[in-house]
C-alpha cells in the first residue's frame, strides 16, 4: 500500500501508474489528514474505491480471481483473510513459517 498526503490533482494520475509486472496494490490519498481517495492499482489500471473495507476486499479478490500468488508484503494478511472469509486453506506457502499456520 502506498499513501500520499496533500497531492495536487495534476499529480494523481502519475502516482497511479504501474509497470507491467507490478503487483496489485492500494494507493491512498489524504487531504489535510482526511481520506479523499482510495485506488486499487495494477496492470496500468486504477480503480477508485469508496471505503477501506471495499478496497481491501477488492484487492484480495483480484489476487484470488486471477489466481495470482500473493506478493510477499501481503502474503500473511491475505492468507489469514482467505482462511477466515473463504474458509479455504492457503496451499502455496511463501515461507517455512507458513507451513504450520
Is residue 7 packed enough to be buried (19+ CB in 10 Å), middle (13-18) or exposed (0-12)? middle
pLDDT reported for residue 30: 86
| 0.85 exceeded by pTM | no
Handedness of CA 72, 23, 55, 91 (dihedral sign): negative
pLDDT reported for residue 37: 84
Which grid coordinates are listed for 44? 496500468
Residue spans of the domains in the chain: they are 1-50
Per-residue pLDDT of the chain (101 residues; tens, 9 = 90+): 676 677 887 788 888 888 777 888 888 888 888 888 888 887 666 777 888 888 888 888 888 888 788 777 777 888 888 888 778 776 665 555 545 44
pLDDT reported for residue 66: 81
pLDDT reported for residue 53: 85
Amino acid at each position: 500500500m502506498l499513501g500520499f498526503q496533500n497531492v495536487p490533482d495534476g499529480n494523481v494520475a502519475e502516482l497511479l501508474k504501474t509497470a507491467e509486472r507490478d503487483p496489485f496494490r492500494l494507493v491512498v490519498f489524504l487531504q489535510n489528514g482526511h481520506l479523499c481517495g482510495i485506488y486499487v492499482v495494477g496492470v496500468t489500471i486504477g480503480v477508485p474505491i469508496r471505503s477501506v473495507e471495499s478496497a481491501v476486499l477488492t484487492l484480495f479478490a483480484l489476487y484470488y480471481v486471477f489466481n495470482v500468488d500473493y506478493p510477499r508484503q501481503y502474503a500473511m494478511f491475505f492468507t489469514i483473510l482467505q482462511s477466515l472469509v473463504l474458509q479455504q486453506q492457503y496451499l502455496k506457502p511463501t515461507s517455512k513459517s507458513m507451513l504450520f499456520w
